[in-house]
Amino acid sequence: MILTSDEKQIILDSIRDIPDFPKPGIIFKDITTLLSNPKAYNTLMTHLETRYISYDLDYIAGIDARGFIFGAALADRLGIGFVPVRKKGKLPYTTVAEKYSLEYGFDEVEIHIDAFGENGGKKVLLIDDLIATGGTAKAAASLIDKVGATCVEVCFIMELEFLNGKKGIQAPVYSVLVID
């Protein structure tokens, strides 16, 4: 279950830093180079499968859009369903929405009202590629609660620790790579 330092390094080395994207001062963590590297992607997915196999999860929920890539692959490995948490206006059926603040203005995420079936209390793991301020994940986790399921953990491939985004999230947080 614990990632060895060699495995951690393989994953870390596969992620590309793009300075000043999408705006000056931001170092964008580009996971396209992880996805195109079969050894790194497999190392990551095998680690996540090993960690979460014992959680007895009912669903994985992934955050638009990079959370879909890891979440859908993990759901298939665990033999459970995948639920997308999408940016506003993309989901076709009845939705529940949650706003969250950005540096300037706000954004909104949505989930289908029946995403986790008719019976409440389903155990859900929420996943995204990266946590920065934590606003997106906090809003996504509250959507899971709003539609009657339980967010048992929130998982990130990377955590930008210096932004302390974890503090606003009630559920336990697991980050594969913690970047200080």
- For ligand AMP, the binding residues (CB under 6 A) are 26-29, 63, 66, 128-137, 165
Alpha helices (H) in 25-147, listed in sequence order = 32-35, 38-52, 66-78, 135-146
The nearer residue to ligand AMP, 79 or 162, going by C-beta atoms, is 162
Kindly state the smallest distance separating residue 131's Cβ from ligand AMP, in Å: 5
Kindly state the smallest distance separating residue 92's Cβ from ligand AMP, in Å: 22
Kindly state the smallest distance separating residue 74's Cβ from ligand AMP, in Å: 16
Tokens (6 digits) for 29: 């963590």
Kindly state the smallest distance separating residue 28's Cβ from ligand AMP, in Å: 4
The nearer residue to ligand AMP, 93 or 162, going by C-beta atoms, is 162
Examine the residue annotation and report whether 66 is marked as an active-site residue of this protein: yes
The nearer residue to ligand AMP, 63 or 111, going by C-beta atoms, is 63
User: What is residue 38's three-state secondary structure?
Assistant: helix
CB atoms within 10 A of CB 87: 14
7, 16, 86, 103: the catalytic one is: 103
Burial grade of 4 (CB within 10 A; 0-12, 13-18, 19 or more): exposed
Examine the residue annotation and report whether 103 is marked as an active-site residue of this protein: yes
16, 49, 51, 66: the catalytic one is: 66
* Rounded distance between C-alpha atoms, residue 4 and residue 34, angstroms: 18
Write the DSSP symbol of residue 162. G
Burial grade of 129 (CB within 10 A; 0-12, 13-18, 19 or more): buried
The nearer residue to ligand AMP, 137 or 171, going by C-beta atoms, is 137
| Residues with active-site annotation | 66, 103
